[in-house]
Amino acid sequence: MEEGSHFKFEDLKVYHKALGFVDLVYITTQSFPKNELYNLTSQFKRAAVSIALNIAEGQGDSNAQFNRFLQNAMDSVKECVVCSTIAKRQNFITDEQNENNRKKLAELSKMINGLQKYLKK
């Protein structure tokens, strides 16, 4: 990597977990019906991307500011839980896919909460 092309937020494990979840959502939503492209598909992708974006955007600010961005990331985690639940209820994904999404989101939630607690010290 070139000098200066690395950003501090890229060192955060939670950021990489969030990117992994984005990849999963992009793969999962490929099989959603085309008529959902501007509805659930788009919303699920935006919410997943928002988790990583908020982690990146907040890192480097004051602890209070970073905590605010982490709270936004948590809100997006919850939004993804709902998107996954709706996708399951509409039979766009299987029970297993929904459970896998929820496990990954629970892990992200724990990591974000842990970082928030660390920042409040």
- At 1-26, the pLDDT tens digits run 455 788 999 999 999 999 999 999 99
Q: What is the mean pLDDT of residues 41-56?
A: 98
Residue 119 tokens read as: 């920042």
Kindly indicate the confidence band of residue 96, based on its pLDDT and cuts at 50, 70 and 90.
very high
What is the average pLDDT value for the chain, to the nearest integer? 95
The pLDDT value recorded for residue 3 is 58
State the CATH architecture for 10-119.
Up-down Bundle (1.20)
Instruction: Give yes or no for a contact between 12 and 55, defined as CB atoms under 8 angstroms apart.
Output: yes
Report percent pLDDT > 70 for the chain: 97
pLDDT at 1: 46
Separation between Cα atoms, residue 1 and residue 108, nearest integer Å: 27
Could you please report the per-residue DSSP string of 1-38? --TT---GGGG-HHHHHHHHHHHHHHHHHTTS-GGGII
